[in-house]
Structure formats: structure tokens, C-alpha cells
Amino acid sequence: MIIMGSFEKIFGKTAQLTVMENLLKNRGNTTFLFGIAEETGLSHSSVSRVMEPLLNLGIVNEKKVGKTFRTFTLDEENELTKKLLEFDGDVSKIVE
């Protein structure tokens, strides 16, 4: 069962918000695309597509493992990520 996060309650359900909330929830952990897809119920291609803007903003770090696998971690040193974590914490206290 997937629990609706605070961002989703405010902004509605989109693939990018779903992935972002998954990354926030699992911060400090490295994950694969298929792991995010499995945990969120999104397709592998949807996760791959929405990961690109997060990478471009520096919210997520990518590391290639071999020729075909990519791992992702939330970049908690990124200023935007810090604000998102702060916002998520503040909003969670109000809406949950």
C-alpha cells in the first residue's frame, strides 16, 4: 500500500512528485530505477523520464554501475534539496 505524502496532498499526484517523495523518504540510501519503480508503482520508463529534471537541478546524484545500471541518491548538500526537506518536514506536521 502506498501512503499519500504531504506533497501529493497539496499538489496532486504526478510521477515526478511520487518519485521525489520516494527519494525524500529514503534519503541516505542508494537506489536503482527499478527499486523506485517497484516502491512507487510507476513504470521503469516513467521513473527514468522524471529522474532527468531532478538530476539537472542537482537534487539527485547519479552513479553508473557497469554499462546498464544507474544508482541514485538524494543530494542532501544541494540547497534546493535542503529547502525541499525543510518544506516536507514542515508540511508533514500540518497535513498528517
- Tell me, what CATH number does 63's domain have? 1.10.10.10
Report yes or no: 60 and 19 within 8 Å, Cβ to Cβ.
no
In a domain, 43, yes or no: yes
- Tens digit of pLDDT for each residue in 23-42? 988 889 999 999 999 999 99
pLDDT at 89: 81
**Which residues, at least 6 apart from 26, have a Cβ–Cβ distance to it below 8 Å?**
39, 74
6 phi and psi, to 5 degrees? -65, -40
CA distance 94 to 27: 21
pLDDT at 56: 92
In a domain, 2, yes or no: no
The residues facing 60 across adjacent strands are 74
pLDDT at 4: 52
Report yes or no: 62 and 71 within 8 Å, Cβ to Cβ.
yes
Number of domains the chain contains: 1
- Please report, in tens digits, the pLDDT of each residue of the chain (96 residues total): 344 566 666 666 688 888 988 998 888 999 999 999 999 999 999 999 999 999 999 999 999 888 888 899 999 999 988 988 888 788 777 776
Between CA 80 and CA 50, with CA 95 as vertex, the angle to 5 degrees is 40
pLDDT at 43: 95
In a domain, 6, yes or no: no
In a domain, 26, yes or no: yes
- Which cell numbers hold the place of 7? 506533497
CA distance 35 to 44: 9
Find the domain containing 52 and state its range: 13-76
In a domain, 4, yes or no: no
